[in-house]
């Protein structure tokens, strides 16, 4: 459907279970997903724009669908800064919108986003980037359970180096926050957070919390249906691959 809409040069909202892509003349101009921090979070929590400045631009220009233009025109952010941040938010949300999902897909013709256009992106480029990102995640660490579960830190080895970016994530890895919640708290794209979380999982720095098995269930004999990977084996394979490079 998305490819057909691009060929039709359609304008409107492409809705799936994980979010919305906004098209203008067949190109993607905005994307939103509950799994990805929005542009306002990246700008305000990230420190590029005071929250009050965002709200003022939204009040002044939201009804005209020109919030982006207002932010630049008022001098609150530069055109280049806004474009980079907007593209980051767009590709981040689109990664989840275009991911595996159940449920219907709809398109509402004529719908436009209140932010306005910044840098339209071809549908093919967004789809290609979503595939590249999914492959990258799997190459870093093939266990997707750390993507959605609250992660808990593990004690680093004595000779293990922890980067500043990793320390920021570890401070929020409390067994309650998921990687998505950590990304929102830090004002960073969720995909970048997932990549770092998977790298830390591969390094043994974080893991998903272990589910507590009820006592009654522990007394029931028989095989368990469990997809948990052999973590030690995966780490040995990773180390061997790194040594061969």
- Rounded Cα distance between 234 and 224, Å, is 21
Determine phi and psi for 178, rounding to 5 degrees.
-85, 170
- Rounded Cα distance between 113 and 169, Å, is 32
What's the average model confidence in pLDDT over 160-176?
91
pLDDT (0 to 100) of residue 197: 94
Do residues 235 and 207 lie in contact, with contact meaning Cβ atoms separated by under 8 Å? no
pLDDT band with cut points at 50, 70 and 90 for residue 48:
confident
Q: For the chain, what is the mean pLDDT?
A: 86
pLDDT over 60 (residue 221): no
pLDDT over 50 (residue 218): no
pLDDT over 70 (residue 238): no
Give the rounded percent of residues in the chain with a pLDDT score beyond 70.
85
What's the average model confidence in pLDDT over 144-154?
89
pLDDT (0 to 100) of residue 239: 55
Q: Is 221 left (phi over 0), alpha (psi -120 to 50) or beta?
A: beta
pLDDT (0 to 100) of residue 60: 93
CA 200 to each of CA 101, 133, 232: distance values in angstroms, whole numbers, following the listed order: 26, 17, 14
pLDDT band with cut points at 50, 70 and 90 for residue 207:
confident
For the stretch 72-124, pLDDT in tens is 999 999 999 999 999 999 999 999 999 987 678 999 999 999 999 999 999 99
pLDDT (0 to 100) of residue 158: 84
pLDDT (0 to 100) of residue 115: 92
What's the average model confidence in pLDDT over 223-234?
44
pLDDT (0 to 100) of residue 217: 43
pLDDT over 50 (residue 245): no
Q: Which of 86, 83, 95 lies closest to 179 in space, CA to CA? A: 95
pLDDT (0 to 100) of residue 212: 43
Tell me how far apart the 2 most distant CA atoms of the chain are, in Å.
69
Ranges 12-21, 161-170, 220-229: which has the least confidence: 220-229
pLDDT (0 to 100) of residue 208: 79
pLDDT band with cut points at 50, 70 and 90 for residue 220:
very low
The pTM score is 0.82
Q: Which of 203, 201, 192 lies closest to 228 in space, CA to CA? A: 201
């Amino acid at each position: 459907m998305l490819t057909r809409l691009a060929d039709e040069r359609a304008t409107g909202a492409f809705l799936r279970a994980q979010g919305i892509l906004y098209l203008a003349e067949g190109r993607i101009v905005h994307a939103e997903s509950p799994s990805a921090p929005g542009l306002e979070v990246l700008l305000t929590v990230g420190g590029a724009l005071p929250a009050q400045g965002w709200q003022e631009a939204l009040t002044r220009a939201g009804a005209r669908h020109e919030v982006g233009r207002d932010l630049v025109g008022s001098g609150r952010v530069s055109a280049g800064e806004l474009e980079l941040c907007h593209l980051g938010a767009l590709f981040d949300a689109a990664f989840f919108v275009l991911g595996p999902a159940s449920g219907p897909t709809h398109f509402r013709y004529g719908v436009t986003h209140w932010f306005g256009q910044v840098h339209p992106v071809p549908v093919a480029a967004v789809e290609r980037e979503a595939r590249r990102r999914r492959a990258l995640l799997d190459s870093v660490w093939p266990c997707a359970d750390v993507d959605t579960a609250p992660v808990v830190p593990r004690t680093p080895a004595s000779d293990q180096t922890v980067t500043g970016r990793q320390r920021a994530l570890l401070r929020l890895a409390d067994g309650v926050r998921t990687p998505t919640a950590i990304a929102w708290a830090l004002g960073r794209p969720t995909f970048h957070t997932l990549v770092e979380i998977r790298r830390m999982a591969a390094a043994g720095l974080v893991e998903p919390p272990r589910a507590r098995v009820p006592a009654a269930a522990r007394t029931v004999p028989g095989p368990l249906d469990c997809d948990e990977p052999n973590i030690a084996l995966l780490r040995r394979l990773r180390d061997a691959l790194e040594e061969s490079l």
